[in-house]
Each structure stands twice: as structure tokens, then as C-alpha cells.
Amino acid sequence: MEKVNLKICVGTMCYVMGGAELRDVVESLPQNIIEHLNVSYSPCLGCGKGEETPPFIEINGKRVAGVSKNSLIRIIKEELRDVV
Amino acid sequence: MLYDNFAMLTKRELLIRIVKLLKEKDLVNGVKYIPVEMRPRNKKPIKCCVHKDRYILKHKIISILGFEITDEEIDLIPLAEFAQKALDNKNTKENILSVVHEACSACMQSQYFVTNMCRGCEGRPCLMNCPKAAISFKGGKASITQEDCVSCGLCSKVCPYHAIVYTPVPCEEVCPVKAITKGEDGTEHIDKDKCIYCGKCMQTCPYGAIMERSKVIDVYKSISDPNKKIIAIPAPAIYGQFNATPGQILSAIKAIGFDEVVEVALGAEDTSRNEAAEFLERMHEGKPFMTTSCCPAYVGWVDKHAPMVKPFVSDTRSPMVYAARRVKEQYPDAEVVFIGPCLAKRYEAEMYVPEVDYVMSFEELGAFMVAYDINVETCEEMPLNPEVTKFSRGYAQAGGVRNAIVEAVGNGYTTLSLEGLDKKNQTLLKMMPKKPEAQFVEVMACDGGCVNGPCSLAPLTLAKRQIKKALEK
């Protein structure tokens, strides 16, 4: 199976608006999950101009706004539901 | 930060939008759009309608612009006028904390309350155990006569169905000195004579109804004025606020437009030295104990609520004072901005420290970084001052001051570190003149010390880990 592409915004806007721990969440995922992910960090995903609120992530090209540390885990689980 | 919540994010978004407008030199014209943009018609309102939501935002904006919001007359003045006024003159000294009355939901008086989970059982332990006969049964369900209830909580404890709940007023609940109480209209009022500016109420209110008066406008004006020299002095807790090294964080602060960045930890060197000398002197004089004086909320508590402890508080000044003095000695014309996680520092600086021109919170610093497009993680390393030891940077956490003093005076004394001004610690401290628990007592009003301050940016777990990393180096 192809790996899931996960991009986490670590820009200051997302950091200040509640995304400070997103990187931690990803880094503390168990091995059986992390091996299915292709994680990258970006200083800005180019969002935050429209009505959506930060913090942002991108999972398999889909942008998700207003991510919290708990919803991030949910989102990853949902994406990997067939595998893990 | 006790927990993540959206009220906290609203405040941060407001700060970011205001600093962005400042940077674009469009504050006077643009400020009026903020409430509409943040609470558009097509989104579900938080309170009764978008108009009230926008009205609340207006009040919060006025507070961020640096004005007090308790006066009803502010309703007559448009936001643009406030913005112009803020840009035109330096802010006057007014209340540091105020309640946004429209946002205060006038929570129900805290009480024990029987929910509809009550099954009206035969056992009725609530009825049997109530010491004040405040429980009666109506229609097969328990009910509490509030006039008789003394809030002992026994009924709630004994109910096998957990049907009796305690409904608190969050701000009153966390205030360690009962400075915030309900007025006649049901909304909260802060008693200035009692308040120690610990910031607990502000941190806790689920409506974000308690706002600190900000200095972002003044700081921006100085930063953008090429004729002014402006120097940032960030508190040691700064090292926990970003996913970056201390050197990167300092250079990120500089990138905003400060001419210099001097660590408050440098001032902590002076504090440790003076405090250690003072401690030895007092011990020599036969004094039973001495407490620290660097936490302004604790000092405020002693001044306003525990005069018996006053003679035992050290006369050494806080690291902020010494750091600011060092800066002013070197650059007498410079303006000094203290950047910290602390609300009480605003009070300390305005009342007692003429060397500090403005106090800015970590949240406000974060807003500046967003508005000025600074990514801390990619900033260059700024060389750190070699004079500053890890003990001084350790002031960020509870136990840090104690460690520094022990390092200076040796292990021959008993020490104690108290975190938080809860009831237990307050009683302990008030008893100490008669029954000292230790010879050197460090007191921090926040659990965990400064790193858990009410105006911090990073969650506590992250902040603690980052500080640990920074101290290891």
C-alpha cells in the first residue's frame, strides 16, 4: 500500500493559534502507524487567508483546517483505517 | 495554560489581527472590520446573535488597544477613534485587568444543585446526611433550599447516582484571594484592593471575559520609530515557548525590530547573588526564614493579604529589575520592553520599576511574530551571553530560584519550594513566622513556576521539555 502523505504546518501562525503540539503528536505516534506515513513539515501551507482557521495540515493532498492534537490523531486513524 | 479552549484563541486572533493592521499602517481604518470578519453573519453565533458577539469583540479590541473597558461611555465611541487615540498618545495608567461585562455570562451563583438524574430513591442519603436540613422532596425528587444550604457538599458525595452537582463560577473558584465577586447585575467585578494579578481568572473564564490591558500599540510605535532605541528583555520562561533553541528564539525576537535583546536571566545572576548574600545575612542575624521576592503575584499577596509574612520576604529585586537596570546603564535613552508569561509583572513594572517602559506577554510576542512573518525554527542562532549560567535560566521553572541559591550558599540550609497560592500554601505561609517549615522558601504563584504563567503561548508539557533541553546545553 502506498504511504499516506502527511504535511504538518509548523509556521508561526499555526503554532500560535493552537498548533504548538501537532509536531509532538506526530513524533510520538507508535511505529506501526508511523511506517505508513510520509511525514513532512512545512513552514506554511499557504493557507490562513480565507475563512478557515489555523492550524492547518494536509493529508494526501486534502487540506484540513482547525486541527487540534486530538483531531489530528482521529484524522490519521481515519486515513489508515484499512491498514492498521 | 490550564487547558486549550477557543476563548483563548479568540484573544490571540484579535492580537494577531491588530498587530497586522499596525504593521500595514491601517489600524484606524481597518480596526472596525475585525468584529465583522471574525463573527460573520453566516456562522452560528456564540451568544444570542452575531451583534452581541461583535459587540464583545469590540470591547476586547478596546482593551487590547490599551483602554479600560468598564466605563459605559465607550459604547459611544467608534473603534477608529480608540485606535487613533492609542496611536496618538502614550497610554495612561489604568486598571490592568477588567471584566468585559457583555461577555461575562453572569454565571449562576456557585451552588449544589439536584439534577434530573435524581431517582428519588428510598435510601435518600442526601436527606439523611444533610446537616442543615436543606433538602426536601418535591414530586418524588430531591431539591435544595439554597437559603439553608452551606455548600458542604455531603449530599453530592453520598448520592449513589451522582445526581447532585456543584455548579461553580470558574473565575471565583480559581481566585486565591476572593478578589472577584458578583455585582448587583450578576456580572463579575474585580476588587483592585484585593487583586494580586495572578491572572488565574483571565486564564480560566470560559468566555474569555477577563481581559488584560495590552501595550502592543506602544511597543509597535517604539519599534517602528527609527529614532528610538528599543531593547527587549525576555524572561527565562521564553525558552519553553517555541520549538527552537534559545539562540534562535532570541534572534527571532530581535527580528521583530528590537535593537538589542538582553536575557532577563542576566538580571537573575544579580538576583541570585544579592538574594544569597541577603539570606546569609538574615540567617546570621538569627531570622527564622526568608522567602523569595521575584514572583510579583506572591509579593502582591503578602502586601495585601499576609502582612505578617512581610518582614520575611527578601528585599532583593526581581531579575526583571536588574536586567532593566543593566540595560539602562548601558543605554540611558533606550526603552525597555519586558517580555514574559506574567500578568503581575505588568503591575510590578508600572508601580515599582521605572526602568521598564512596557511589559509584553508571550501571547503578544507570538502575535508580533505572526504579523512580521518570523519563523522561529528557521531563525539563525544568536550567540548567548556567556555570563548567564544555567541556574539563572532555571528561574523559568518552580524550584529554579531555590537551586540557584543552594548553588550559592551551599547545602547547609533547609529549603522549600512552594508552587501555587492555593489555600494550603497560603495557610502554610501565614503560619511560617511562628512555625517556619524551612529556612529558605521559594514561592511561585503559578503551579510549576513562570513556565505555566497565565500569558504563555506554548502548552505546559511542551514548554517544560523545551526548558529542560535549553538548560542541558
CATH of the domain at B351: 3.40.950.10
Contact B60, B208 (CB under 8 A): yes
Nearest chain A residue to B39, by CA: A51
pLDDT of residue A81: 83
- Same structural domain for residues B209 and B225? no
Q: What is the CATH number of the domain that holds B138?
A: 3.30.70.20
Residue B465 has pLDDT above 70, yes or no: yes
Residues B269 and B367 in one domain: yes
- Mean pLDDT (chain B, rounded): 92
* Averaged pLDDT score across all residues of chain A: 86
In a domain, A25, yes or no: yes
Show the low-confidence residues of chain A (pLDDT under 50).
Answer: none
Is A50 a member of any domain? yes
- Chain A residues with CB-CB distance to B16 below 8 A: 13, 16-17
Cα torsion B82, B86, B88, B92: sign: positive
CB contact under 8 A, B243 and A15: yes
State the helix-helix crossing angle for B362-371 and B6-23, rounded to 10 degrees.
Answer: 50
pLDDT in tens, B240-284: 999 899 999 999 999 999 999 999 999 999 999 999 999 999 999
Predicted confidence band of residue B430 (pLDDT cuts 50, 70, 90): very high
Give counts: helices (H), strands (E), chain B.
Answer: 20, 15
C-alpha cell at B307: 502582612
How many CB atoms are closer than 10 A to CB B165?
Answer: 14
Q: What is the pLDDT of residues B3-18, one digit of tens each?
A: 678 899 999 999 999 9
Answer whether residue B175 is part of any domain.
no
Query: What is the pLDDT, as a whole number, of residue B1?
Result: 43
User: How far lies B251's CA from each of A12, B256, B383, B385, in Å?
Assistant: 15, 9, 9, 13
**Predicted model pTM:** 0.92
CA distances from B323 to A15, B337, B341, B342 (A): 29, 11, 16, 16
Do B261 and B405 reside in the same domain of the chain?
A: yes
Residues in B touching A51 (Cβ below 8 Å): 40
> What number is the ipTM of this complex?
0.86
- Chain B residue set in contact with A, beta carbons under 8 Å: 4, 9, 12-13, 16, 40, 242-243, 363, 366-367, 369-370, 373-378, 457-459, 461-462
B355 and B413 together in one domain = yes
Across B322-336, average pLDDT: 95
Domain carrying residue B127: 111-167
Examine residue A53 and state whether it is found in any structural domain, yes or no: yes
How far apart CA B209 and CA B347 sit, in angstroms, is: 20
CA distance B351 to B321: 12
* Concatenated DSSP letters of A12-56: HHHIIIIITTHHHHHHTS-HHHHTTEEEEEES--S--SSS--S--
Distance between CA B421 and CA B175 in Å, rounded? 9
